[in-house]
A and B are shown apart, each in its own frame.
Chain A
Amino acid sequence: MPGPIQTVAETLNSQIPLEGFLIVAAVMFAIGAWGAVIRRNAVVVFMCVEIMINAVNLTLVAFADFLPDAGGIGASYAALIIAIAAAEVAVGLAIVLAIFRSRRTVNIDEVNSMRG
Chain B
Amino acid sequence: MTIIFGFLAGMMLVSALGVVLSRNVVHSALFMSGSFLAVVGFFVMLSAPALAAFQLLIYVGAVSVVILFGIMFTQSPQVRSFSTIVNKQVWAGLAVALGVGGFLSYILATEDWGATEAGQGTRDVAAFGEYLLGVGPDSEIFAMLFQLVAILLFVAVIAAIVISRRKDTDIESASDVRDVGE
Interface positions of A (Cβ within 8 A of B): 11-24, 26-35, 37-41, 43-44, 46-48, 50-51, 54, 57-58, 61-62, 64-68, 70-76, 78-80, 82-91, 93-98, 100-102, 104, 106, 109
Contacts and interface: CB of A to CB of B under 8 A. Distances in A.
Given A28-B13, A38-B93, A39-B86, A67 B114 contact: yes
Given A64-B48, A67-B116, A100 B20 contact: no
Interface residues of B, number: 94
A61 B19 CA distance: 23
Given A24-B13, A47-B29, A65 B67 contact: no
Most A CB within 10 A of own CB, among B87, B100, B163: B163
A50 B93 CA distance: 18
Interface string B67-92: 10111011100000000111101100
A90 B63 CA distance: 9
A97 B19 contact: no
Interface of B: 1-3, 5, 9, 12-13, 16-17, 19-20, 25, 28-29, 32, 35-36, 39, 42-43, 45-48, 50-51, 54-55, 58-59, 62-63, 66-67, 69-71, 73-75, 84-87, 89-90, 93-94, 96-98, 100-102, 104-105, 108-109, 113-122, 127-128, 131-132, 136-139, 142, 145-146, 149, 152-153, 156-157, 159-161, 163-164, 166, 170, 173-174, 177
Contacts of B62: 86
A38 B97 CA distance: 10
Nearest to B108: A22
Given A58-B43, A65-B121, 18 more contacts: A14-B1, A31-B20, A37-B93, A43-B67, A46-B67, A47-B32, A50-B59, A54-B59, A61-B48, A70-B120, A71-B137, A72-B128, A76-B132, A89-B66, A90-B66, A94-B161, A102-B173, A106-B75
Contacts of B159: 91, 94
B70 A43 contact: yes
A86 B156 CA distance: 9
B101 to A, nearest CB: 3
A87 B45 CA distance: 27
A85 B149 CA distance: 11
A62 B133 CA distance: 21
A58 B118 contact: no
